[in-house]
Amino acid sequence: MNCLLTGSTGILGSHILFEWIRKALEENSVNHLFVVIRSNHRSAYQRLLAVLQDESRPEFLDNYSLDECLQKITVLDSDLVSLQASNLRNYEFDTVIHAAASTSLSQTTTSRDKVHKQNLLVTKHLLKHLPGCVKRFIYIGTAYSYGIQEKKVHEKIEDYSVTNFRNAYEKSKFESETYVKQFCLKHKLKVQILRPSIICGRLIDKPYYETPKFDVFYSWAIFLNKYARGSKDNFRIWINKDSGLNIVPVDFVSKAVLYAYLKPSIKELNIVNPEPILHKNYIGHVLHYFNIPSFELLTQMPIHLNQLESLYYKSIGAVFEKYISIPDLKFHSDAILKLIHQLQLDSTLGVHENFINLINFSVEKNFRKSY
């Protein structure tokens, strides 16, 4: 069972790579993985080695030599917009896992253009240039492709009216998965849509808390660490007290992707946490961690902002407003609970009890990118 993977130097893609190696060498349930990596100041092969040899990699890779790992991987030196069917025909794979994406949540024109290009246009290009050997396309979307919904959602997104998005990122991912389905139906390809929610560091495979890049909800910690640590100003934060963040560990998501890969009968899967962590339950702990003793959780936007609040609501607060200040997106979790039970994991995936550990790890690492 051979597969082409995009995004293999990214947060999720690198962990799909790690999990693939384990499945290939321990279980023989998968075979060869072709990874698309673009050269920069280092060659594509050097970038792959940087991922496989980084100190943040999971401990289970210590069970194998580098040569053993590399026997299961072939590097294609290219960016996605340059891939052509004529090049891809030189390799034997029947499935594509498309994990490459931009997760920019900003509403600037630059960000909107970036997610449109990297999420939608690149996906269209990749599909257009698939060689004839490909029989299945696995698209890594986002659980937030549903946009803003009043009802709890299940896997079949067509059952919902999807028109109201929090940002251009969500819109681009919805448009991309819609196009993938239409393309695969027209060209008689099997398709799987996998939708992870917000991704955090590892909580299953040691060393814990590791992630190659600290973005999305970690951006809040970056802001507090840089601008608010030790502030004596009262910090008023606008939240919906019944809402929370749906966060899943990156190693759990990678296991879910391989779980779906080995179960082609799964057509769509929301890779979500059955129990989101409520804003009212974590914000106070995080603010105390950053030595911000004076704060209030409000149910409406505050007025007469102080300096800290003004900076917050003009920057990171504007990005996350529609994630923490309005009712959250809720998911039916029957499908993902099957995997959670199979892996014998807690229904919270360890996120609740380790939330401050995740924040602390990111601060101690100075939010440094690994590769």
Q: What is the DSSP string of 215-284?
A: -TTHHHHHHIIIIITT--S-EEEE--TT-EE-EEEHHHHHHHHHHHHT-TT--EEEE--SSPEEHHHHHH
- With a cut of 90, say whether residue 20 has pLDDT above it: yes
Of 114, 91, 90, 96, residue with least CA distance to 104: 114
Extents of the domains making up the chain = 3-201+246-273, 218-245+278-329+344-364
Of 253, 223, 252, residue with least CA distance to 314: 223
Predicted local distance difference test score (pLDDT) of residue 367 = 98
Mean pLDDT of 196-217: 98
| Three-class DSSP labels, 315-337 | CHHHHHHHHHCCCCCCECCHHHH
pLDDT tens digits for range 166-201: 999 999 999 999 999 999 999 999 999 999 999 999
Q: Residues 231, 236, 242, CA angle at the centre, nearest 5°?
A: 130
pLDDT tens digits for range 295-354: 999 999 999 999 999 999 999 999 999 999 999 999 999 999 999 999 999 999 999 999
The CATH H-level superfamily of 3-201+246-273 is: NAD(P)-binding Rossmann-like Domain (3.40.50.720)
Within 10 Å of residue 327's Cβ, how many Cβ atoms?
11
Mean pLDDT of 156-164: 98
- With a cut of 90, say whether residue 1 has pLDDT above it: no
pLDDT tens digits for range 329-342: 999 999 999 999 99
Predicted local distance difference test score (pLDDT) of residue 139 = 99
Mean pLDDT over each residue of the chain, to the nearest integer: 98
Predicted local distance difference test score (pLDDT) of residue 263 = 98
- With a cut of 90, say whether residue 75 has pLDDT above it: yes
pLDDT tens digits for range 77-131: 999 999 999 999 999 999 999 999 999 999 999 999 999 999 999 999 999 999 9
Q: Let me know: does 118 contact 103? Beta carbons within 8 Å.
A: no
pTM score of the predicted model: 0.98
Mean pLDDT of 209-229: 97
- Which 8-state DSSP code applies to residue 193? E
pLDDT tens digits for range 244-282: 999 999 999 999 999 999 999 999 999 999 999 999 999
